[in-house]
Amino acid sequence: MAVPGKVAAFRLPPLPTVGEIIKLFRLKAQKQLSQNFLLDLRLTDKIVRQAGELKNAHVCEVGPGPGGITRSILSAGVEQLLLIEKDARFVPGLQMLSEAAPGKVCIVHGDILTYKMEKAFPKHLKKNWEDEPPDIHIIGNLPFSVSTPLIIKWLENVSKKDGPFIYGRTQLTLTFQKEVAERLTANPGGKQRSRLSIMSQHLCTVENCFVIPGQAFVPKPKVDVAVVHFTPLVQPKIQQPFKLVEKVVQSVFQFRRKYCFRGIETLFPESGRLKRTEQLMMTANVDPTLRPFQLSMSHFRNLCNTYRKMCDEDPSLFAYSYREELRQRKKTRNLLKSTSQPEQTEEENQL
């Protein structure tokens, strides 16, 4: 008998196991989509717990597949659950879960990379950026092929306060290859310190929650998987446009084993490259003999702020692309080769 004055906890009715759902609908993980199923509900419960308190929350699950994490989210007592699934084969099994939780589940057959998250949740859930995070969570066991482009896209959304972050500082709980998770959370000097470390940590508090051994998945991937939790910061650590920060960080890590001077000089055209690189490093107070992975967040902040001033003085600078310069140089070299070849042959024929 329910205790008076207390709302009874939501419980899913008896359902086929996730393994039985896979057999019932003849589901098979597709290698080209880098799909791996998690069948152990103790692990799916543990993932969902990392998201925090979900009772009466609105949740979006990315790539629910056969619905293991979906069950754990529903059991946490959410108000509404939005499922975004690209693979139509999983929709019938998810509909079975939807029928078991009337009025709670909305299934969208679509691609999370193109789905408009601005309209995913009710407007009344919006909070000011400075306030506590809204009662909205994004959870997902991401395919390896999607995880990095998706988190970069969402980090840009955090920077612009749009997409799922139009509602405030929406929290994310996502799975990544263990190595990618280590890059996301790496400290200065760490072997895994990379572009991802700077781009994520300057915008979010990033926590590597726990590791799931590869053998827990079906089929078993060659690597272990880690669960990572993101909470957007009220103030980014580098207060410059996302694309500018991304360009500086990418340039620095272009030659990660060399001195950082080597990567930073790729920000500038060949004409005046050395002088401008020295000017940037001196003004930003960065030791040119440090390796990229040794640079701290304050180093990157100084580099971005100084580079921004240089771009303001020379608006053509931001549009410059080192790779494009290399492509053009190679094209010219090939063109010269092709035009000089017939002359050489003609000379040989004369001889």
Known binding residue 157? Answer is: no
Known binding residue 287? Answer is: no
Backbone φ and ψ for 143, nearest 5 degrees, come out as: -60, 140
Contact by Cβ (8 Å): 74, 81: yes
Known binding residue 65? Answer is: no
Tokens 């699950």, residue located: 61
Burial of 39 (0-12, 13-18, 19+ CB in 10 A): middle
Residues 6+ apart with CB under 8 A from 250: 195
Residues 6+ apart with CB under 8 A from 2: 8
Q: How far apart are CA 148 and CA 141, in angstroms?
A: 13
Entry field: residues in the chain: 351
Residue of 84, 81, 83, 85 lying closest to 58 (CA atoms): 81
What's the first-to-final CA gap in the chain, in angstroms? 106
Q: How far apart are CA 327 and CA 340, in angstroms?
A: 20
Question: In Å, how far are 74, 151, 206, 315 from 229, measured between CA atoms?
Answer: 19, 12, 6, 38
Known binding residue 36? Answer is: yes
Q: Which residues are annotated as a binding site?
A: 36, 38, 63, 85, 111, 141
Q: Which residues are annotated as a binding site for S-adenosyl-L-methionine?
A: 36, 38, 63, 85, 111, 141
